[in-house]
Amino acid sequence: MPGADKETDLTERIEAFLADLKRGGSGTGPLRGSGEMARETTYLLRRITAQARWSSAGDLMEIIRNEGRRMTAAQPSETTVGNMVRRVLKIIREEYARSRGSSEETEQQESLHKLLTAGELSEENFRQHFVHLKANVIEAINELLTELDGTTDNIAMQALEHIHSNEVIMTVGRSRTVEAFLKDAARKRKFHVIVAECAPFCQGHEMATGLSKVGIETTVIADAAIFAVMSRVNKVIIGTQTVLANGGLRAVNGTHSVALAARHHSTPLIICAPMFKLSPQFPNEEDTFHKFVSPHEVLPFTAGEILSKVNVHCPVFDYVPPELITLFISNIGGNAPSYIYRLMSELYHPEDHKL
Amino acid sequence: MADCGEPDGPGNKDDIARSKNEGKELTKEEKQRLRKQKKQQKKHKERKNEKGPSETEKDETPVSLLPPPPPVATQKAPSALPAPASAPIPVPASAPFHSSPAPSPADKPAKSKAELKAERRARQETDRAAKQPGSSSSGIKTKVPLSELNPVVKRLPEHVQVDDPAVVKRLAKKLERQQIPLRSDYGYKVSLFSHLHQYSRKAPLTQLLSIPSTVIHPSIVRLGLQYSQGIVAGSNARSVALLHAFKQVIRDYTTPPNEELSRDLVNKLKPYISFLNQCRPLSASMGNAIKYIKKEISNIPSQCKEEEAKTKLLKCIDRYIEEKIVLAAKAISKYAIEKISDGDVILVYGCSSLVNHILCEAFEKSRKFRVIVVDSRPRLEGREALRRLVQRGISCTYVLISALSYILPEVSKVFLGAHALLANGYVMSRVGTSQIALVARTFNVPVLVCCETYKFCERVQTDSFVSNELDDPDDLMVTRKGKTQLENWQDVSSLGLLNLVYDVTPPDFVDLVITDLGMIPCTSVPVVLRVKNLDQ
């Protein structure tokens, strides 16, 4: 039966995706950028919308929420997956509301009045069946995909507003967004980039070779020298893995030291992050915040006997509080960290914050 | 060295030419003679430019050997005035001695000594008379070579003026004179650091030396190689190794005849120090040790017998090591152990012999604590510290410096070692120390620096750029999963690698400095320096 085939096909794809997530996070599989992750997730969600069996928006949301929960459980540190799931849920809600005919704004805004009077509205509303809902949702997801494709270019287009000539810019590790940002500015301006290599993965080396190939004056420094050279740096431009709900960052380890050094020298800290990295999480979940990888990156097995007598830690992420950040540059423009909470309400529905 | 092309008496010419060709070390007398020849030639050139025609008549005097001027006691001295004006002044270095204008000296027979002396005196009178009416510039010019030896103002050390070609040329000449090969810089230097040297570890200085080396004592050669390859690292280790090598030099030293041990030994040590400086720039502690030794040597009374003097010097060096390093470590441990309480979590960075010693002592005294060792690429010295601590049985944790923000909330104290303490209170230490102090201050963790007083130095510095050391840039390359990203960094013109060795920590990040004189705040360093200077 074609329906059953489609279903098994779908479940296969979902399982493959989950397996990929689990593998990719341990560092052994190919390291994939967040943009790719987001796109893959959205493709999968579109496929689920197209192929799964559902009759009303509520069913679809239930299905997507379940799959989303499984996906985030497979790799908790990969927040873009959860973000995309929430975006799609919001899209479904919007399309449903539009189909019903009610205006969108009243549904979304949380006001005290609404909280007191209409608590039971949300649940039952999504039971109505609309013919064109599927098509609308799929169209909206396609728009989301186009937006995802254009994020890096949108951010890179703003580069010339922020970089002037003869600047010294510092960056940490490797971020595709920052690389595109700097390369775009380098077309018209001449400046110098200092890349901190970011041990133990040393992704800064790749970044440096990429930048120097287009003729940008690049210098690679060890992590330990960050404070030493910070006094000559004019701007610090970095990427991040996640932007948290309070405006803080979960970025690659070593970023907090960079942020503190920048604050000590009053150097602006600019974060280039597309909107799909914005996550409604807060940083106070101690056990899920940090992710660790194999300590042999730090102390290899060749070190010998002492391995059994010492504790070795290799955390992957760092928390950077919002007070240390000057500016967020995203595909919708530049924002201060204090505005992040507002952007969140535009992207996600408050009920979807907990999947 | 013998490039003045000065026409000389035939005998000396051959001697010098022979020794130059054979490459043997020139004897002391020959060296002094050549130096004087150069000075005379310089003097003559200036006088010639100033006085024009009046000089040329004087130049007609014969060019045979004149007796030496009284103040300098050497045997044969070159002629006071070079070739007569008829022959062009033989200047180019390539013009070897033996092909100098042979006719002129050989022609004139040697006048009697008295006549020559009288002529010289007459010439000096006229010179003095001519000098009076205000052509004082030439007088000052001739005095310049002497005053350069005792500068009134402290000169900038050469190793921070690499971007000045005059300084580099001067260094090259000095090294040539001391017969030490000049080490060339390697790789593309980041523009901010163009005033510093950058050497490659794969090209040690000793490759350019002849074997066996007659100029430099073999234990110094070995020491230089150990420095440049990083086998001996850490400021205490380097100073102790240096002092032991000097002890060997002193043991093997014999005073040449007509020489005083106090002056000759100091002169002997100068090329060794230049050589070691070329292998790896001297640290502040080594500088202080060398100053101490030189002072001790020059204070040896002249009537002291050689054997006695040597034993005295050896004892002095042993006492210096014992007092300033070993006993100081004990004193510092005593103070520091008061600061370690049970249940502490102590963070240390890299491998500081003093801090390791303190921790081992505290562990012996049954303090209960655990240690977190922070390490950084590319040196990864923390692994050595880790081994030493684990051997004693101390429970340790090991992280890289990028994980600092993760681990600091657990830490109760930070102990740091220092390479030198500067007179304005800044702490010069391994690169990364300032970062640790900064992040510790943010988390409100106390930072204690442990440093012996012999590392206190009178320099002042506010940032890590003006005076630093650049290590081999190839160390930053790393091979991960079979790929070396920066393998061909030399081919890419816009890519540079920077491998700093030291950085300076501002005094507001440091809470306490523990020295053998007690526990002082960072800003009291100039007080200690002043007290030390008064003592000495």
Q: Which residues pair with A192 in a beta bridge?
A: A168, A217
Number of domains in chain A: 2
Cross-chain residue pair B476–A219, CB shorter than 8 Å: no
For B449, the enclosing helix (H) or strand (E) is strand B447-450
Do residue A297 and residue A246 come from a single domain? yes
Ranked by mean pLDDT, the top range of A84-93, A336-345, B47-56, B433-442 is B433-442
A311 contacts B480? CB cut-off 8 A: no
Same domain, A191 and A245: yes
Domain membership flag for residue A353: no
Residues A178 and A320 in one domain: yes
Average pLDDT over residues A240-265: 93
Q: Which of residues 221-250 of A touch B (CB under 8 A)?
A: 221-229, 231-232
CATH number reported for the structural domain that contains residue A328 in this entry: 3.40.50.10470
Are residues A188 and A138 both part of a single domain? Answer: no
User: Mean per-residue pLDDT for B412-428?
Assistant: 93
Does residue B247 register a pLDDT over 80?
yes
**Would you call A227 and B480 a contact, using CB atoms and an 8 Å cutoff?**
no
Instruction: Classify the C-alpha dihedral A164-A166-A171-A175 as positive or negative.
Output: positive
pLDDT at B142 over 90: no
CA distance A258 to chain B (A): 9
A257 vs B405, B465, B497: nearest CB: B405
* Predicted confidence (pLDDT) at residue B349 exceeds the cutoff of 60: yes
Domain contains A109: no
The residue segments making up the domain with residue A90 are 3-102+129-148
Q: Is A311 near chain B, with CB under 8 Å?
A: yes
Q: What pLDDT shows up at residue A170?
A: 96
Tokens 């102790």 found at: B240
Mean of the per-residue pLDDT values of chain B: 78
Closest CA to A163 of A141, A130, A193: A193
A355 occurs within a structural domain: no
Do A161 and A301 belong to one domain? yes
pLDDT of residue B112: 65
With CB atoms and an 8 Å threshold, state whether A319 touches B396: no
Q: What is the pLDDT of residue A114?
A: 61
Can you read off the two tokens belonging to residue B361? Answer: 């002592």
Mean pLDDT of B330-337: 94
- Shortest distance, CA B279 to any CA of chain A (angstroms): 23
Residue A44 lies in a domain: yes
B429 touches chain A (CB under 8 A): no
- Quick one: pLDDT at residue B132? 57
Residues with Cβ within 8 Å of B121's Cβ and at least 6 positions away in sequence, in order, are: none
Would you say B36 and B43 are in contact if contact means Cβ atoms under 8 Å apart?
A: no
Give the pLDDT confidence score for residue B131 in this predicted structure.
60
Q: Which residue of chain A comes nearest to B397, CA vs CA?
A: A311
Q: Considering the domain boundaries, does residue A63 fall inside one?
A: yes
- pTM for this structure? 0.78
User: Are residues A290 and B406, on separate chains, in Cβ contact within 8 Å?
Assistant: yes
Do A216 and A312 fall into the same domain? yes
> In terms of domains, do A51 and A135 share one?
yes
- Whether residue B274 lies within 8 A of chain A, CB to CB, comes out as no
**Pair (A179, A157) in one structural domain:** yes
Predicted confidence (pLDDT) at residue B273 exceeds the cutoff of 50: yes
Q: Do the domain assignments include residue A111?
A: no
Q: Output the domain CATH number for residue A44.
A: 1.20.120.420
pLDDT at B474: 87
Same domain for A143 and A170? no
> B438 with B509: CB under 8 angstroms?
yes
Residue B259: what pLDDT? 82
Same domain, A79 and A187: no
Residue A166 lies in a domain: yes
The answer, yes or no, to whether residue B532 has pLDDT greater than 90, is no
Last residue of a domain, one of A148, A180, A205: A148
A279-283, B63-67, B156-160, B502-506, range with greatest mean pLDDT? B502-506
Smallest CA–CA separation between B496 and chain A, in Å? Answer: 5
Q: Enter the tokens of residue B527.
A: 């007080």
Identify which of A227, A232, A260 has the shortest CB distance to residue B442: A260
List CB contacts (< 8 A) between A311 and chain B. Answer: 396-398
CA distance B306 to B316: 15
Whether residues A144 and A159 fall in one domain: no
CA-nearest residue to B476 within chain A is A222
Span B473-487, average pLDDT: 83
Task: Assess contact for B409 and B330: CB atoms under 8 A.
Answer: no
Establish if A118 belongs to a structural domain.
no
Phi, psi of B177, rounded to the nearest 5 degrees: -65, -40
Three-state SS for B307? helix
Percent of chain B residues past pLDDT 70, beyond the cut: 75
What gap in Å lies between CA B376 and CA B374, rounded to an integer?
Answer: 7
Region B130-146: mean pLDDT is 48
**Kind plus residue range of the DSSP H or E element containing B414:** strand B413-417
Residues A13 and A32 both lie in one domain:
yes
> Is residue B397 less than 8 Å (CB to CB) from chain A?
yes
Q: Which of the four pLDDT bands, split at 50, 70 and 90, describes residue B16?
A: low
Please determine, for residue A199, whether its predicted confidence score (pLDDT) is greater than 80: yes
